[in-house]
Amino acid sequence: MNVAEYERMFRAEETQWWYAGMRAISFALLGVPPGPTPLRFLDAGCGTGNNVRHFGDRGRAVGVDLSEEAIRFCRERGVTVVRGALMALPFRDGAFDCVTSFDVLYHRWVTDDRAAVRELTRVLKPGGLLLVRVPALMMLWGAHDEAVHSRHRYTRGEVERLLAGAGLDVLRATYANFFLFPLLAARRLLDRVTGRHGSDVQFLPAPLEWAFRALLEREARLVRHVSLPVGATVFALARKPG
């Protein structure tokens, strides 16, 4: 990922509607309440580290990323981070109670997503949870995917098979960004017509920020009970047997 994209992420991750909404859905699926716990968290491919900060409010959290720029932003944020590759994580077997991978497996530099999931599984303790998030549906491919060096957009079934192939028990798999899906699909079509280039990471006018974030927070309440049938993102939660 380029330096400018990391800078946009660093500014946006705490409050921008998409990041805040995705975080709400993540914690809804994990079912980890606010407050200290003895759990050990790893965010693999942690970017600028905002999720590590939130996991740190719930347990002992560490991030890992290959990018020196990402690590610089993590240190500025004050979170624990180490440099390492997703395909060869610098941790012992079974080191973590919960491993997350948010928008990492789809990158071009992840040349073998099956091997990457096996490595995430290796550092997860028996009975531990893996939560994966990836962009959904190739029909939504657009300028943002090119800007962030995407390789693939997944279906829910592809992610389920990917996790099951690593020996994990898939507990939940759902699409997200369900309510905004028609608008996002229209935006992608417009990108193709206009030839727009560049990232989608930006703040919208305040009323839209509030409305879009509210819709994702509503989805966070829904996914506690049901899986959504379509959307721009796939979440999958799996448990390591043991």
Residues 74-102: tens digit of each pLDDT: 999 999 999 999 999 999 999 999 999 99
36: which DSSP letter?
-
- Structural domains in the chain? 3-239 (3.40.50.150)
Q: Is the pLDDT of residue 176 over 80?
A: yes
Strand 169-176 to strand 124-135: parallel, antiparallel, or no bridges (unpaired)? Answer: unpaired
pLDDT in the model for residue 199: 62
CA distance 146 to 141: 8
Other CB atoms within a 10 A radius of the CB of residue 202 amount to 11
pLDDT in the model for residue 1: 59
Q: Is 11 helix (H, G, I), strand (E, B) or coil?
A: helix
Tell me the average pLDDT of the chain. Answer: 92
pLDDT in the model for residue 135: 94
Q: How large is the average pLDDT for residues 200-213?
A: 87
Per-residue tokens: 26: 């993540």
Q: Is the pLDDT of residue 122 over 80?
A: yes
Q: Is the pLDDT of residue 201 over 80?
A: no
pLDDT in the model for residue 63: 98
Q: Is the pLDDT of residue 5 over 80?
A: no
Kindly report, residue by residue over 19-60, the tens digit of the pLDDT. 999 999 999 999 988 888 899 999 999 999 999 999 999 999
CB 197 within 8 A of CB 203: no
- Burial of 7-37, coded b for 16+ CB within 10 Å and e otherwise, reads ebbbebbeebbbbbbbbbbbbbbbebeeeee
pLDDT in the model for residue 18: 94
- For the entire predicted model, the pTM comes to 0.92
pLDDT in the model for residue 28: 97
